[in-house]
Structure 1
Amino acid sequence: MDTPQTADEWFVRLNSGHPVSPQDEAAFRVWLSKDPLNEKAYRDCQVRWTELAALGQSPELLARRAKALKAAAGTNSRRDLLRWAGGGLAAAVTAGVVYAGFAPSRAWAKYATGEGQRLTVPLPDGSELTLAPLSRARARFIDGGRIIELQDGQIFVRAARRPTPLMVRAGDCVVTGSGCQVQVTLNADKTEVLVADGGATVKPQGGRTRHLWSGQKLSGDLTTARIQAVDARTATEWREGRLVFRDQPLSDVVADFNRYSIEQFIIADPKLGALRLSGSFRYDGVEDFPQALESVLGLSVEPAGANRWRIASR
């Protein structure tokens, strides 16, 4: 197999879905060391990959992907499937979701999502990272260390079982675990940790270490917060493009929608915020949400500008 010579070729080789051989890893290090611009070029590939998320709703892009997949059907070459996007980059893009690859490096790999986008990243140790809309995170897997840093927003981590625990940093809190599933949220310097499966330890700065099990969470001031029982399935449904509410105030429901969806809702009368709503609604296709507001709560939902909607009494 020929040795890649460009950043795009290396990106495809290291993210082909096959295990990275020691020979390829060594050759990649040599290629990086040859020119300081090589690492920048490689990082540019990762940035371009992430930016493909913004095209998730593009009919032209989806048509190109469908055409490429059809043309590649019946072949054994994953490389052919990876080249449809041009420049040696590839992504499975659907409803604002991007499945991106990760290659080993001493530099931090950075990931970000925009309004209505979510990003799923397979990591080199077999773990998986999913970013909610409007989230930023970075990761580094090198020399046996496994570190993910949440800078803003919300992530869901499937931590592969390894001798060395995976570490998630969020603000002044460190979460560690192996063979577990953890959701971590960081907004306005407030942290929430929820364990969806398995167990993980939570260590806030200046506080004692606590252990959470499936269906438990800590939120607010983690140094003093009590462990709460939660419905983990409901709390993590955003990964499927849905938000689930159980008898919650409309003000809270709208706040959640505005956080996840590119469509923004405005409550015209603050008194309406006290109305309560239950249901499961898509945030990446919000037709069912306005319908529920009109049919269940008897409200009016009218356009108020580009991607903006006004909720009012009839």
Structure 2
Amino acid sequence: MSSRSPSERLLKQALSWFFLLQSESCTDEDRQRFNHWFCKSEAHQAAYAHAERLWSEVDRLKEAADVPGLREARQWRSKRKSINVVGWAVFFLISSVLMRVGWLEYSAETIIYSTQLGEQHRVTLADGSSIIMNTATRLSVRISPLQRKIMLDTGEAIFNVQHEIWRPFIVNAGALQIRDIGTRFNVHKQQAGPILVTVLEGAVEINGVRLNAGYQQYYSPYADPRTLLRPIDIGQVEAWQHGQLVFRQTRLGRVVAELERYHPIHFVFLDPAIARETLSGTFGTDDLPFFLSSLEKILPVRVKPLPGNKSLLIDWADKKM
């Protein structure tokens, strides 16, 4: 079935059929005519599916005082009155509201934002929410009357959400759907597949499971997420937006992987055991030379650039390089 949004004409037809089928005055002949219309093309089927979804979603707007006709719509639906002069007036009122909301919903623009290696960027959305994007990040934003959807393709971002009861804020990252509950949270989608979600304030629901402030959830296709929940130092997670990387007894392999996110460089360990060494410290995201000189002071290792200056070799300091 086609996933394209229906035309305004087809959506209006679908809404007319939807309301007629809900009424007590709907006859067997009406149902036969509907079946003929419905089976005529995939476009008709897609339009009717949109009409059904639109009606199911309209309840989310019940807190929005500036949208007329919704109370009448719900009353008309629950009482299922026979279609008469008043019923048709309500029908056209409901149809106009649904058409207006529906057209805004399906015509909402999707905007793509991205950052280059080492770049950070702040985006302020129309609803007052903001997104702080870290290095090498790509995401898309779609804000409509019924929902706010973000698709994080790759990279990392902090989401500062203006909570709205009737319009959810949802971030999709891989197989995860992260829904805000009055929230400020960080999402890091790594290239290899694992995803880190950290709640800085408030709470989120991740695929329906609540995660509270001060906790980080690590998602990997190879591990049980229940075993990868841990309390986190919020300041350490937020440090990147201030141009810093904070490490506390962190394995060197993970440290250099972080640095590779900010610089066009690749680290090579001559001995895999070196990658398991740990270090602590705070380093600037844009100051690679300082990190390299500090590394040789903190650990018994030496760093040497390989031909082409795009890779750095790390070996034990007591060996000849």
* TM-score bracket, shorter-length normalisation: 0.5 to 0.7
Q: Which has the larger radius of gyration?
A: 2
> In the TM superposition, what are the counterparts of 1:288-303 in structure 2 within 5 Å?
288-303=290-305
Deviations 1:101-123 (A, max 9, x none): xxxx8221101222212222111
Instruction: Look up the match of 1:268.
Output: 270
Matches within 5 A, 1:32-181: 106-163=108-165, 164-181=167-184
Matched, 1:225 2:225: yes
Does the residue aligned with 2:296 lie in a helix, a strand or coil? helix
In the other structure, the counterpart of 1:259 is 261
Shift of 1:161: 2.6
SS at the partner of 2:225? coil
Instruction: Pick from 178, 197, 213 the counterpart of residue 193 of structure 1.
Output: 197
Q: Secondary structure at the match of 1:125?
A: coil
SS in 1 for 2:236: helix
1: CA distance between counterparts of 2:209 and 2:180? Answer: 12
Matched letter for residue 125 of structure 1: D
Matching residue's letter, 1:225: P
Return the alpha-carbon distance in structure 1 between the equivalents of residues 129 and 122 of structure 2: 11
Q: Deviations over 1:195-230 (max 9, x none)?
A: 011111111xxxxx2111111122124894123211
Verify the 8 A CA contact 1:247 1:277 in the aligned structure 2.
Answer: yes
How much does 1:300 deviate?
A: 2.0
Check the 8 A contact 1:219/1:225 in 2, yes or no: yes
Runs of 4+ residues over 6 Å off in structure 1: none
Amino acid of the structure 1 residue aligned with 2:194: K
- Indicate conservation of the 8 Å contact 1:115/1:261, yes or no: yes
User: What is aligned with 1:211?
Assistant: 210
Given that residues 132 and 260 in structure 1 are in contact (C-alpha distance below 8 angstroms), is that contact kept between their aligned partners in structure 2?
no
Normalising by structure 2, report the TM-score: 0.59
Using the TM superposition, give the Cα deviation of residue 138 of structure 1 relative to its aligned residue in structure 2, in angstroms. 0.4
C-alpha contact (below 8 Å) 1:158/1:179 kept by paired residues? no
Q: Secondary structure at the match of 1:287?
A: helix
Q: Cα offset for 1:309?
A: 2.8
2: CA distance, partners of 1:274 / 1:200: 33
Q: What code does the residue aligned with 1:184 have?
A: V
Q: State the TM-score, normalizing by the size of structure 1.
A: 0.60
Shift of residue 308, structure 1, vs aligned partner: 3.7
Letter in 1 for 2:204: A
* Cα distance in 2 for residues equivalent to 1:282 and 1:219: 25
Quote the residue 2:187 is aligned against: 184
Letter aligned with residue 205 of structure 2: T
SS of the equivalent of 2:288 reads coil
> Out of 290, 306, 309, which is 2:309 matched to?
306
Kept in 2: contact 1:196–1:233 (CA 8 A): no
Gaps of 5+ in 1: 1-104, 204-208
Distance (whole Å) between structure 2 residues aligned to residue 220 and residue 140 of structure 1: 25
* Partner Cα separation in structure 2 for residue 269 and residue 189 of structure 1: 26
Once the two structures are superposed, residues 39-93 of structure 1 have per-residue CA deviations (whole angstroms, 9 ceiling, x without a partner) of xxxxxxxxxxxxxxxxxxxxxxxxxxxxxxxxxxxxxxxxxxxxxxxxxxxxxxx
Tell me the CA shift for residue 266 of structure 1. 2.8
Q: Deviations over 1:224-266 (max 9, x none)?
A: 4123211122123112221111112211211121123334433
Matching of residues 278-289 of structure 1 within 5 Å: 278-289=280-291
- CA–CA distance in 1 between the matches of 2:131 and 2:142? 12
Percent identity over the alignment? Answer: 28
Q: Is the 8 A contact 1:160 1:178 kept in 2?
A: no
Deviations 1:164-194 (A, max 9, x none): 2311111111111143111112233332211
One of 235, 238, 250 as aligned partner of 2:237: 235
Instruction: Name the residue aligned to 1:10.
Output: none
- Cα distance in structure 1, aligned partners of 2:130 and 2:116: 19
What is the identity, as a one-letter code, of the residue corresponding to 1:217? Q
Instruction: Provide the rounded CA distance (Å) in 1 between the counterparts of 2:197 and 2:242.
Output: 19
1:274 deviates by 2.1
